[in-house]
Amino acid sequence: MRTLLFLSEMSKIATDDYVGFTFFVGSMAMMAASAFFFLSLSQFDKKWRTSVLVSGLITFIAAVHYFYMRDYWDAFAESPTFFRYVDWVLTVPLMCVEFFLILRAAGAKKSLMWKLIFWSVVMLVTGYFGEAIAVGEPTLQWIWGLISGIAYFIIVYIVWFGEAKKLAESAGGNVLIAHKILCWFVLVGWAIYPLGYILGTEGGLFGMQLVSDIDAAQQAMNVVYNIGDAVNKIGFGLVVYSLAVNSSK
């Protein structure tokens, strides 16, 4: 029933409502990805099923939140910042868990997983403070954005040069290839979120706003976030899926 109501609402999306369109496409794409990951579980060796299951959970959680964010945008024409960060605080740590899961066979310890989860939560909580709590206070927004950026680069260091990189090299083969691709997602794909912060937050990460009209800035930020979410979450899952397929042959 909710699906029918949601589809009926689609007829109300204006042809120039690019934000609403990206919310809809994002939710459909991630729900389809979830179904794909869940239905493919039986074809993998047991040691890879958890990784693929987590990939499906990431896109499923995001799809559900995108349904709500689409409704919120339609009702208020405002950025659903709270719902977006609720989604991220659930899905981004799970994406960090994926690093631990694929490196577990190479001897990865749970301390690596908790380290990545901790810094991802710091990155998200401080980002939320800067974007939603410190509104109208450019100095605080700059400080919170800087802290969030530092946490992000710590994650980048761990997966590119630190403990995770060493484990991937010791594992070699398909694991190393998958790890490298996931690292690029973190370095390039996740970098889209600071860009969205700069575009849509008054003051921004560097004490400047790239778009002078705050409404246009919010629209640009949401389009950036929506496209980035779909590419990063689905792409992350497809890398893990490919690893599971190649390792189960």
Per-residue pLDDT tens digits for 7-56: 445 446 666 688 999 999 999 999 999 999 999 999 998 889 999 999 99
Q: Do the domain assignments include residue 162?
A: yes
Asked, for residue 92, whether it belongs to a domain, the answer is yes
pLDDT at 192: 83
In a domain, 2, yes or no: no
Residue 15: its pLDDT value, please? 64
| pTM of the predicted protein model | 0.89
Q: What is the pLDDT of residues 198-224, one digit of tens each?
A: 766 654 444 445 455 556 777 878 888
What the block records as the tokens of 218 is: 């919010």
Q: Write down the pLDDT at residue 79.
A: 87
Determine, yes or no, domain membership for 231: yes
Apex 137 CA angle, 131 and 143, nearest 5: 65
Tokens, residue 136:
């109208």
Span of 22-26, 62-66, 133-137 with lowest mean pLDDT = 133-137
Whether residue 9 is contained in a domain is answered as no
Q: Is residue 5 part of a domain?
A: no
Measured in whole angstroms, how far is the alpha carbon of residue 78 from the centre of its chain? Answer: 20
Q: What are phi and psi of 211, to 5 degrees?
A: -120, 120
Q: Which residue has the higher pLDDT, 9 or 155?
A: 155
- The domain containing residue 131 runs over which residues? 14-248
Domain count, the chain: 1
Q: At 214, which CATH number? A: 1.20.1070.10
Q: Is residue 42 part of a domain?
A: yes
Q: Environment class of residue 227 by beta-carbon count within 10 Å: exposed (0-12), middle (13-18) or buried (19+)?
A: middle
C-alpha–C-alpha distance, residues 203 and 225, integer Å: 18
Question: What Å distances lie between residue 183 and 138, 139, 235, CA to CA?
Answer: 32, 31, 12
Q: How far is CA 19 from the centre of its chain?
A: 17
Instruction: Tell me whether residue 3 is in a domain.
Output: no
Q: Are 74 and 20 in contact, with CB atoms under 8 Å apart?
A: yes
